[in-house]
Amino acid sequence: MLKREPMPDHLLNQKVMQQLSNRGVRPPCKVAVSTQKGSVTLSGLIQYEHQRHMAMQAAQHIEGVKRVVDQLRVIPRMVPKKIAAIPTASPPV
């Protein structure tokens, strides 16, 4: 039985990035992928917690990935500032 050569890290990076994009993890999310000897690290900013699970699953299911390290942070959603109510003239009494 022939032993398979491990997939080069740069190819694993490409495959993980492609899977993240396919699953909707793209701008405004800012996810960086780095790979060393089959260990993939996901770091950066995501908008929602469910994107973390999606990103982890995408990376874990790629052949050649030995482990996935999660360094993702959820950025708080930007809430627009409340606009001060414009005073209205009260009707004459």
pLDDT at 90: 60
The domain of 52 spans: 12-74
Instruction: Quote the number of domains for the chain.
Output: 1
This prediction's pTM: 0.76
**Closest among 10, 6, 44 to 25, alpha carbons compared:** 44
What CATH number is given to the structural domain containing 19? 3.30.1340.30
Q: What pLDDT is attached to residue 93?
A: 60
Structure tokens at 77: 């959603």
Identify which of 9, 40, 25, 7 has the alpha carbon closest to the alpha carbon of residue 74. 25
Full pLDDT tens readout for the chain, 93 residues:
566 788 899 999 999 999 999 988 878 889 999 999 999 999 999 988 999 999 999 999 999 999 999 999 998 765 555 555 555 666 666
Residue 28: the pLDDT is 83
pLDDT number for residue 92: 64
Residue 27 preceded by cis peptide, ω within 30 = no
How far CA 32 is from CA of 3, 5, 13, 29, in Å, comes to 31, 25, 9, 10
